[in-house]
Amino acid sequence: RAKAFGKARYHVFNPAMHQEALQLLQLETDLRRAIERQEFVVYYQPIVSLCEGKISGFEALVRWQHPTRGFVSPAEFIPVAEETGLITFIGTWVMREACQQLRIWQEEKLSQESLTMSVNLSVREFSQPNLIELIDDTLKKTQLSPQNLKLEITESAIMEKDGSVTAILQQLRNRQIQLSIDDFGTGYSSLSYLNRLPVDTLKIDRSFINPIDKNSESLGLVPAIITIAHSLGMSAIAEGVETQQQLAKLRTLNCGFGQGYLFSKPLGSKLAADLLASSPQY
């Protein structure tokens, strides 16, 4: 909230700002109620191994089924949830739900042992003093192996927390939990920084993937990012793969993994299970 007003400090408070403030306040009230009434649902989007052409994991993406507004996009409510601290409740629930879901798929023999579940963590969650405890507790209660869990954190979140981050990442690594840097290329991390972090995967932001099917000169930074990932012993996931041309380019660039509407949109648990059961070959 304070941040939103910060920019306007030297301007006269106008009716539009008043309106915006009211809307934010309403959203916050609605969010608190949504947590009580459990209006959240987790959707799952497959991540595909590009050499095998098979689903290698899913990313859990939260959805809010608002009683009057219908589905509210996480892009709209996650920032408010972060500012108000409500994200810790939502995040804990999403992680629990996602781990439980993968465990169910394992028990139903729908998934091979190596299938992973990726869960997004915001900065605010990352700085919870009991984060590790929460994760341990979730894994214990859902009986999921730590190797099957991947956490996604953005580059900017890592930079923001600086010093304290490495220690937490190391604790995750000690447990064999995997770590991805989300939206890679949009924040900015120094390359030496990257080298010091125990990270497994770089997720190349959709904005870099989008133009690569236009012409042969449009590969931009994508080959460089893939090379950096591989030379640091990490894998690369291309986000937002939407066309066959993009997929073909990514394969020639040796990008290990892809995610995007070309393979599947995020799906509710039932449809995600159906997709998994059909063993699609991409």
Instruction: State the residues that interact with ligand C2E by CB under 6 A.
Output: 45, 61-62, 73-75, 78, 91, 94, 120-122, 152, 182-183, 206, 240-242, 259-261, 266
In the complex with Mg ion, the residue whose CB is nearer, 30 or 235, is 235
152 touches Mg ion by CB under 5 A: yes
- The answer to whether residues 111 and 105 touch, using CB atoms and an 8 Å cutoff, is yes
How, if at all, do strands 149-154 and 178-184 pair? Answer: parallel
Q: Is residue 182 part of the contact set for Mg ion (CB under 5 A)?
A: yes
Report the partner that residue 94 touches, choosing among ligand C2E, Mg ion, none (CB closer than 5 to 8 A by kind). ligand C2E
Question: Within a 13 Å sphere around the CA of 42, how many CA atoms are in the beta-carbon half?
Answer: 23
**What count of other Cβ atoms lies within 10 Å of the Cβ of residue 120?**
21
* Complex with ligand C2E: residue 148 or 264, whichever CB lies closer: 264
Which of the listed partners (Mg ion, ligand C2E, none) does 173 bind, with a CB threshold of 5 to 8 Å by partner kind?
Answer: none
Stretches 6-14, 80-88, 180-188, 258-266: which one binds Mg ion (CB under 5 A)? 180-188
| Residue 172 Cβ vs ligand C2E, minimum distance, rounded to whole Å | 16
Least distance between ligand C2E and beta carbon 9 (Å) = 28
Question: Between 20 and 82, whose beta carbon lies closer to ligand C2E?
Answer: 82
183 binds Mg ion (CB under 5 A): yes
Tokens of 35: 């947590």
Q: What is the DSSP letter of 267?
A: B
Please, are residues 222 and 183 in contact by the beta-carbon 8 Å criterion?
no
Residue spans of alpha helices (H) in 108-130:
123-126
Q: Does 155 bind Mg ion (CB under 5 A)?
A: no
Question: Shortest Cβ distance from residue 152 to Mg ion (Å)?
Answer: 4
Q: Which helix (H) or strand (E) holds 18?
A: helix 15-37
> What phi, psi does 106 have (nearest 5°)?
-65, -45
By beta-carbon proximity to Mg ion, the closer residue of 24 and 243 is 243
Contact partners, residue 184, CB within 8 Å, separation at least 6: 155, 202, 203, 204, 205, 225
Least distance between ligand C2E and beta carbon 139 (Å): 17
Q: Which of 181, 179, 124, 117 is nearest to 149 (CA)?
A: 117
State the minimum distance, in angstroms, from the CB of residue 41 to ligand C2E: 11
- Residues in touch with Mg ion (CB under 5 A): 120, 152, 182-183, 239
